[in-house]
Chains A and B, each alone.
Chain A
Amino acid sequence: MKSTKAYPTRQPVDRYASDLSPSVQESVYNASKLKTEARVDALQRDFADPDANRRLAGAIKQHTLDHLDTYLEQAESSLRENGAAVHWASDAESANQIILGIMQRNDCRRMVKSKSMVSEETELVPFLEKNGMEAVETDLGEYIVQIDHDHPSHIVTPIIHKNRQEIARSFEREGLGAYDDDPTVITRRARDYLRSKYLEADVGLTGANFVSAESGRIVLVTNEGNARFSMAAPRIHIALVGIEKLVPKDRDLSLFLSLLARSATAQCLTVYTQFIGGPRHRTQRDGPEKMHVVFLDNRRTEVLSGDCRKILRCIRCGACMNVCPVYRQASGHAYRGVYPGPVGAVLSPLLKGKEFPELADLPKASSLCGACNEVCPVDIPIPELLLRLRNRAKHEHVSLAARGTPSMGIWARAASSPGAWKTALSAGRLLNVVPHGFLNLSSPARAWQSSRKLPPFRGGAFRKWMRERNPPKNGVPSPDRKSEPDS
């Protein structure tokens, strides 16, 4: 972290942003900008009032969260009726143990994994490997993340931070053929290699994009078809599901699917949308004989109890990160958690529980421009939630969150004494004549000033206007004002 020394007051997100190589920064910026534009085009083209749909979807999710106890019990019984075994895990450790237990009881050694952010949360793969199991990621991006011992930097496009040359080198190193950075060749090689993995595997693990409480159907979307393969070759299917993934009824799904696909990748529907209602049909030869669903809490109930419940509406489309000016500069690893971008800046610190201070700087990595709220398919007021977390960090005296922020103490003293305020205003005019380089006494001021120019100081005009205006008659100000206030 070379820049830490140069700017000791910098927030961690700033450091990540300045340490990012120009090529990575460029690819993250371009990819996220393109996706944002495509998303808007798709929604405007296809719907008269896309905002109404976002608000409606937000209301349905909020309703579900506000009645989560009822819907969880309903989902549990629907899933059982479908022939699935339902498990409950209060934390990551418990979820991993349940999955390991299912594998051991069924003499399983090998797992193929479809993309699941929840399994990143529980660090399932390293846990299974430690316990003698093989677990292979099958989403192309996640597979590359796995062979590179890296972390996803985006929830929809996990290797947004890698270019084809790096990927080609990784494939060569893994013995998947001589160096070739043609994306078609890369994709075909992964196709060939992962086919053998699907066929060898005993277990296919997936997440869930939605679970209908009414029918107990698990709804999964993928473009590559890896979730389909993970449920066509292996004999056991395990779905690891966050408890917030429920929707009340099947009829709600067309709204959510239409918003998810357009918000994530500007598609009308993701290529494969699967509705899974239990183990395979009696006339079917391929597919799981057994289905297990693991509901994971992992501090979601803590979030539910607090004042940031709305963040649990999130359907993981990634639109907020694509549109975020901070994400575009800093990329996903800057958020140091499973969920990057604006949603991560709210969710990751909350999911830390007592270790909240470790990520309490994230809510400050935002200009509160509101773009994340405008694109959110479930209308989460992210800026409002960021402010609540900033407030919490302040109240808990988290030093990381305060780093680089000038103290408000001097301002508070001046603002509560009319004399001091007047003096400060006169002194402020000096700013227009003194070279600003002389003002960089404190580190926060220096860090701020290094990349910005102060506007001309125009303070005091309001007080002047107050003094010169006609005195009010019977408490009503005179309409013939001499001048309009300009500050």
Chain B
Amino acid sequence: MKDRDTILKRVRDGLAETPERTPYPEYDPACAVMRQPHEFSSLWELFAWRMKSVNGVPLHGWNALGDFLRERALKFGYCDPEYTEAIAAVCGSLDITERFDRNDLDRYEFGITAAAGAIAETGTIVLTDAATRPRLAALAPWIHIAILQEDDIWPDSPTALKRLGDDPSVIWVTGPSKTADVEGILIEGVHGPGVQVCCVV
């Protein structure tokens, strides 16, 4: 506790002679919401357009997801128990498991988990600890597929901040994992998914 008291005392002493302390500015967080290039007919339209602009894959409906899985000739992956039935119905040839083994991370071609929301403004998917289980299944496989209820698309980031709730790990995902560390060249799929899908149902 010695360091705590020392630091707080230094802060107080350092601030003591501040002639005028800057007040907290009154402002509307909407000032941080970006303008869009044109009108969109729905939040889903805006979200999908934005998600594509960051190289994400927005899909509408289970059938679209079935087509995606078949086109990529995927065989094996993890699926949240909540969705196994729906997935089996649209893509019967898949071998899906409800068990994610952390010692065999690279066996899973994809992970299907829930998203808790989305931000239309930026094409962002919102994952939470309570909804997205387990953490590694949404992170380690090359393809992550987030399942989202259409009503959970929020207009902008200030709205999403109001919905943080009491979840201990809220993650905003805007496109696939990427880096430009090597000569500024964009490479996708560094530690997280190289393909980021969001399927609205």
Contact = CB atoms under 8 A, between A and B. Distances in A.
Contacts of B102: 199, 233, 286
Interface stretch (A86-94, A116-124, A333-341, A408-416): A86-94
B6 A90 contact: yes
Interface in A235-270: 243, 248, 250-255, 257-259, 265, 267-270
Contacts, number: 263
A68 B133 CA distance: 37
Interface in A23-38: 27, 30-31, 34
Contacts of B182: 140, 159, 164, 167, 183, 186-187
B85 interface: no
Given A224-B191, A228-B171, A272-B171, A72 B179 contact: no
A233 B136 contact: yes
Contact of B174 (A159, A228, A268): A268
Interface string A39-82: 00000001110001100100110110011110011000000001
B18 A224 contact: no
A155 interface: no
B140 interface: yes
Contacts of A133: none
Contacts of A270: 174
Contact of B14 (A46, A83, A94, A305): A305
Interface size class of A (residues with CB under 8 A): 35 or more
A4 interface: no
A287 B161 CA distance: 22
Interface string B178-196: 1111111101011111000
A474 interface: no
Contacts of A34: 184
Which of B136, B183, B184 is the most central at the interface, judged by chain A CB atoms within 10 Å of its CB? B183
Contacts of B1: 88
B86 interface: no
Contacts of A229: 139-140, 191-192
B139 A157 contact: no
Contacts of B179: 140-141, 187, 223-224
Interface in A88-103: 88-90, 94
B177 A223 contact: yes
Given A94-B3, A257-B157, A46 B190 contact: no
A225 B176 CA distance: 9
A254 B161 contact: yes
Given A48-B35, A270-B174, A276 B168 contact: yes
A136 interface: no
B174 A269 contact: yes
A271 B174 contact: yes
Interface centre among B124, B135, B166 (most CB of A within 10 A): B135
Interface stretch (B19-27, B40-48, B62-70): B19-27
A190 interface: yes
Contacts of A481: none
Contact of B178 (A46, A157, A167, A271): A271
B201 interface: no
B15 A68 contact: yes
> Which of B129, B161, B174, B181: most chain A CB closer than 10 A?
B181
B181 A159 contact: yes
A221 B182 CA distance: 19
Contact of B129 (A138, A252, A284): A284
A429 interface: no
B12 A69 contact: yes
B116 to A, nearest CB: 12
For the residues of B in contact with A, the DSSP-based class is loop
B190 A187 contact: yes
Contact of A184 (B54, B122, B187): B187
Nearest to A285: B134
Interface in A145-161: 157-159
B190 A224 contact: yes
B134 A225 contact: no
B105 interface: yes
Which of B54, B169, B192, B193 has its CB near the most chain A CB atoms (within 10 A)?
B169
A304 B161 CA distance: 30
Contacts of A184: 187
B172 interface: yes
A252 B177 CA distance: 26
Interface of A: 27, 30-31, 34, 46-48, 52-53, 56, 59-60, 62-63, 66-69, 72-73, 82-83, 87-90, 94, 138-141, 144, 157-159, 163-164, 167, 183-184, 186-188, 190-191, 194-195, 198-199, 215, 217, 223-226, 228-229, 231-233, 243, 248, 250-255, 257-259, 265, 267-281, 283-287, 295, 297, 301-302, 304-305
Interface of B: 1, 3-4, 6-8, 10-15, 18, 21-25, 27, 29, 31-35, 50, 54, 102-103, 105-106, 121-122, 124, 128-130, 133-136, 139-140, 156-158, 161-162, 164, 166-185, 187, 189-193
18 contacts: A47-B35, A53-B32, A88-B1, A157-B181, A224-B177, A224-B190, A225-B193, A226-B191, A228-B191, A254-B161, A255-B27, A257-B32, A271-B54, A273-B171, A281-B128, A283-B130, A284-B134, A301-B11
Given A274-B172, A280-B135, 20 more contacts: A63-B23, A63-B24, A83-B168, A157-B184, A187-B179, A191-B189, A194-B191, A195-B105, A225-B191, A232-B139, A254-B156, A271-B174, A273-B171, A276-B169, A280-B169, A281-B129, A281-B167, A284-B169, A285-B134, A295-B7
